[in-house]
Amino acid sequence: MAAPILTASGVSKRFGPVQALQNVAFHVAPGEVHALLGINGAGKSTFIKILSGIIQKDGGQITVGGEEVHFRTPEDAIRAGIATVQQHPELVPDMTGLDNIFLGRESARRGLFSRIDQRGLERRAKALLSRFPVALDLTLEVGRMSAVEREAVAILQAIAGENTRVLILDEPTSTLTDIEREDLFALMGLLKAQGIAIIYITHQLEEVFAIADSFSIFRNGTCVARMTVDEAKAGRVSLADLMLGEAIGDIFPPRAATAPGDAVLEVGALCLQGDFDGISLTARKGEVLGIFGLVGSGCDELAKAIFGVTPPDSGTLRLRGQVVRLTSPRAALDAGVFLVPGDRRTEGLVLSRAALFNVPLANLRRAAAGRWSLRRRRMQGDARALTGDVALHPPSLTTPASGFSGGNQQKIVLAKGLYSQADVYIFVEPTVGVDIGARAKIYALMRQLSRDAAVIVISSDCDEVHGVADRTLALHKGRQVEPVSGVFSRDALLMAGIMGEVAQ
């Protein structure tokens, strides 16, 4: 392979008492797709932030194209040809794809009154699209685009600087469906063919073999392994073991050993115009019910309808045999339904606040327990016990939720759910952006919850639904698809969710 375009050696970084990176060695060649793997907190993000100039290294050497570089700002990195697409790219939803791509670079001249050169913009866009022929209508507003189209716009925006030599993608596939993922991989192929090196962070290990040429694994702040995908295949290397530093077993807990108990939640012919129609299901104590559906299948809307966020147009809900009407989250919580929402950062947590604030939030009645004032000592004790139960790391009750990794933020939401003592727990996309160690813990907690409550897991990750649930069904374009008899196999579930058909 060609000489490396980007190298790093001996890179280290310390945050206060925490050695975030130590003596990291790294290299990537032009046209190489290189996956960066590691559990949350392993140092991937810190390393990427150093490469993109967001933070500065304490020591070590980084070279681009053979020359040593010192990035003080993100602009320095961009000028050196390193473009980064953040995990949640910031785009202006009301502007078109084209306007977003050239935002801040509309004109070659810098000046308050320099006119936007519309024809020049179109020419540049055409040139960009001729290099990377993506099937994408750039005149559409970004707010009306799908997740993969937005990701493509963000990538085009990042590489519109013409001289991009290295592109960093931070978990680009975490919100994409399988089909969209293929589109993204196609775009990555085009970039690769242009000789751009791609560094790509992911938690989806099977993607590594699908798209990457090589990978590095970070653990405890250092790069513990670098190999090509061919080497890994030949040596039958387990990526998960390398990431965790120890052999892990199956991340899914064993299924329920005993027959499920009483029906807790019965959903009858639930309908919400435009989102889903005629959904009937029963969730029982003692089992995990899995629902698989892609983005747009109505899964998220179904969960929110049951939880009272957007009450359904018609249909019935029964809790423990009683018909209930849940018209608000308050009503749902009072009736004993708890939602672990799909977007934990906006729907699940007050990020600026610590676990001590977030954990009791959905059940303040319990926190006050009949008094005017909150029972603060008891609240603190409960929060400490529950964050311990979910193995929150670091086990701090006073660190703002924003300071935790994705997996540990989800654990705070789980502790909040445990505090609210519900009878029905609905999980939506429970492990998006969660590393494999925390995933295993979250699945185990679901299983534990199902002993005393009904648990419904809704996800666009077919393996997750199939792996964790005792009984599964699929949602396809708002309609439910159930197995003819018994349970879905993994492949049948996938077919049901993607095609809406039941395999015979």
Partner 1 sequence: MSGFQDNMRQSARGVGFLALVIAVGAALAIAEPRFLSSASLNGIARHMAANGLAALGLTFVVIVRRFDLSLPGVAAFAGMSMGAVIAAGAPLWVAVAAGIAIGAAIGMVSGVAISRFGLPDIVTTIAVGSICAGMAFLYTGGRSIFQNFFQVGITDLNDARLMGLGVSLWILLAIYAVAWFVMHRTRTGVAFYATGENPVAAHFSGIATKRYVALAYVLCGVCTALAVLLILAESGNAETNKGANLMMPAYAGVFLGAAILGGTSVLATLGGILLITMLLDGFALMGVPYYYSDGMISLILLAGVLAFSDTARGWLASFGIRRAFRRSAPGEKG
Query: Among candidates 184, 178, 176, 116, which has minimal Cα distance to 156?
Result: 184
Distance from C-alpha of 411 to C-alpha of 298, rounded to nearest angstrom: 25
What is the DSSP track for 375-439?
-HHHHHHHHHHHHHHTT-SS--SSSBGGGS-HHHHHHHHHHHHHHTT-SEEEEESTTTT--HHHH
Amino acid present at 382: D
CB of 39 to partner 1, least distance (A): 20
**x/- site string to partner 1, residues 422 to 461, per CB under 8 A?**
----------------------------------------
Distance from C-alpha of 185 to C-alpha of 212, rounded to nearest angstrom: 10
Q: Is 348 in the site for partner 1 (CB under 8 A)?
A: yes
- Binding residue for partner 1, selected from 234, 364, 385, 499, defined by CB under 8 A: 364
Residues 6+ apart with CB under 8 A from 11: 21, 23, 24, 25, 26, 47, 50, 57, 59, 60, 61, 62
With contacts defined by CB under 8 A, name the span among 106-114, 167-175, 316-324, 353-361 that binds partner 1: 353-361
Residues 280-319 within binding reach of partner 1 (CB under 8 A)? 307, 309
Distance from C-alpha of 391 to C-alpha of 111, rounded to nearest angstrom: 53
Site size toward partner 1, by CB under 8 A: 41
Q: Is 365 in the site for partner 1 (CB under 8 A)?
A: yes
CB of 267 to partner 1, least distance (A): 20
Q: Is 339 in the site for partner 1 (CB under 8 A)?
A: yes
- The answer to whether 272 and 279 are in contact (CB under 8 A) is no
Distance from C-alpha of 360 to C-alpha of 380, rounded to nearest angstrom: 9
Cβ nearer to partner 1, comparing 225 with 397? 397
**x/- site string to partner 1, residues 318 to 337, per CB under 8 A?**
----------xxx-xxx---
Distance from C-alpha of 204 to C-alpha of 184, rounded to nearest angstrom: 14
Residues 366-395 within binding reach of partner 1 (CB under 8 A)? 367-368, 372-374, 376
Residues 6+ apart with CB under 8 A from 167: 83, 84, 85, 155, 158, 159, 191, 196, 197, 198, 199
Cβ nearer to partner 1, comparing 181 with 344? 344
The three-state (H, E, C) secondary structure of 201-246, written as one string: ECCCHHHHHHHCCEEEEEECCEEEEEEEHHHHHHHCCCHHHHHHCC
With contacts defined by CB under 8 A, name the span among 203-211, 247-255, 362-370, 430-438 that binds partner 1: 362-370
CB of 68 to partner 1, least distance (A): 22
**x/- site string to partner 1, residues 24 to 63, per CB under 8 A?**
-------------------------------xx-------
Residues 12-31 within binding reach of partner 1 (CB under 8 A)? 15-17
- Binding residue for partner 1, selected from 130, 258, 398, 485, defined by CB under 8 A: 398
Cβ nearer to partner 1, comparing 412 with 465? 412
- Binding residue for partner 1, selected from 228, 280, 399, 421, defined by CB under 8 A: 399
Contacts to partner 1 by CB under 8 A: 15-17, 55-56, 307, 309, 328-330, 332-334, 339, 341, 346-353, 357, 360-362, 364-365, 367-368, 372-374, 376, 396-399, 403, 416
